[in-house]
Structure 1
């Protein structure tokens, strides 16, 4: 498919109990699982780059968790940090169809229904990252945005694609 060319996808993921127990589905997503999760998420087609990365490891905690931002957010003036990226499935609490998956944030926390919430932050739900389909429609290529519950659900652009977001993650000093 041509995603992540020249990128170390095998070295992208951290191996930790939190990654295994909360985010990572046990197997790569089968086509029928992808289709049923997409339907459950409101018919949003997951980006090919997301599906390809989940084929290497289906969710988890990246080794690099800091993402530089050009606009300030409630998190910081120049970056944000993620806890993990949700796998495609339903067996882990923090997978797309899990107990704390994308629909949970829309239905329980009243996050705007703009697409798919795929990554959380250390704020314990007070800000999330989403694949934003407002401009492209449910079958298009979404941008990545930061959504801030504490600031009236303010939406801030983060990256032009999921692949750009994953490639843009950086190492952190002291986890921040």
Structure 2
């Protein structure tokens, strides 16, 4: 997992602490998955090295994948719990995404699609799946867990 992020501090929040995680969970009203917190303990958000996710369905991006730009962290300007505009709750309200969980990735499309932790089946204290939401605003489960989501990301230069 140490090779998860590119160098640089774009999208990066302050160094992650246990208190920050607890505050984010309280403000969001849910428990964040351990794999997500573990990734953020390496770097609290940032541009991912592997950004393409193969799919078995067509997306507004391509017939066989979508691309993410960055993993969003906790706290700071880009944090999922931010109340200054780019936080998950504000993005859900602004773009009309389904209220199934938390937006965890910034996308190159600038709001037309999104990747979310989906708590609709697990409840706020359970292990969420990961959903892709395209322009039609229909959540499509792409991974059973955050760890599975990370493991299936590939370099965009790889054949899909």
Counterparts of 1:142 and 1:97 in 2: how far apart (Å)?
17
RMSD in angstroms over aligned alpha carbons? 1.6
SS in 2 for 1:163: helix
Pairing 1:82–2:38 present: no
Q: Secondary structure at the match of 2:157?
A: coil
1:25 is aligned, of 2, 9, 13, to 13
1:107 alignment partner, one of 93, 118, 129: 93
Instruction: Tell me the residue number matched to 1:160.
Output: 144
Using the TM superposition, give the Cα deviation of residue 14 of structure 1 relative to its aligned residue in structure 2, in angstroms.
0.2
8 A Cα contact 2:129 2:144, kept in partner: yes
Secondary structure at the aligned position of 1:80 is classed as strand
1:46 aligns to 2:32 (yes or no):
yes
Which of residues 113, 118, 126 in structure 2 aligns to 1:132?
Answer: 118
Once the two structures are TM-superposed, the CA of residue 110 in structure 1 deviates from its matched residue by 2.2
Contact 1:144–1:159, Cα closer than 8 Å, also in 2: yes
**Whole-angstrom CA distance in 1 between matches of 2:155 and 2:40:** 21
The answer on whether the counterparts of 1:13 and 1:60 sit within 8 Å (CA) in structure 2 is yes
* Cα distance in 1, alignment partners of residues 4 and 19 from structure 2: 25
Note the alpha carbon deviations across 1:10-58, whole angstroms, 9 max, x for none. Answer: 1111013xxx13x11131x2122111111222x1110000001111111
> Secondary structure of 1:134's partner?
coil
In structure 2, the partner of 1:66 is: 52
Consecutive unaligned residues in structure 2, runs of 5 or more: none
Q: List gaps (5 residues or longer) in structure 1.
A: 1-8
Aligned equivalent of 1:96 = 80
Return the TM-score normalized by structure 2: 0.91
Distance in 1, Cα, partners of 2:70 & 2:93: 21
